Amino acid sequence: MTDTALVEKKLALVETCVQELRSLARPASLAADVKEARFVQHTLQIALQGVLDVCSHVVSDERLGEPRTNRELIVLLERAGWISDPALADALGRMVAFRNVLVHNYDTVNLDIVRNIVEHHLDELLSFVQAIRRRMAQVT
């Protein structure tokens, strides 16, 4: 059974990161301000890691399969009904794949992609939080 307290802690972290990105980030300044770029990249990385932590926990506890990639975690949650919107699952899959760029190719991150995520895709992270909470309410 999924540890709801642990999952809720991770979901709250995702929400906090989104709130910080919305209130503190200046996406238009990413290219010109190294501190801004690093703050935004790191905060986005933390949010996406929170998503992956939730996914890993649910997939493991619910025995949904053996993912080979981070993106497959999202696929397994979608197949099991934890994420019911295919467009959301696709967007999340792309974002968690981009998290690998933030972590492993940090010296070559395309700031236009970072800016696009911050300006247009933070709602998808919150939709993920809502989807997981809805499903947890159904199974508990």
3-state helix, strand, coil in the chain (%, to 5): 80, 0, 20
Q: What is the C-alpha separation between 47 and 15, in angstroms, rounded?
A: 8
Q: Which tens digits make up the pLDDT trace of 60-71?
A: 999 999 999 999
Which residue spans within 20-108 are E strands per DSSP? none
Report the topology of domain 4-139: Four Helix Bundle (Hemerythrin (Met), subunit A) (1.20.120)
Q: Which of 138, 96, 86, 115 is nearest to 26 (CA)?
A: 115
Indicate the pTM of the whole model. 0.93
Q: What is the C-alpha separation between 122 and 88, in angstroms, rounded?
A: 11
Asked if 33 and 69 touch (Cβ cutoff 8 Å), the reply is: no
Q: Which tens digits make up the pLDDT trace of 66-114?
A: 999 999 999 999 999 999 999 999 999 999 999 988 888 767 889 999 9
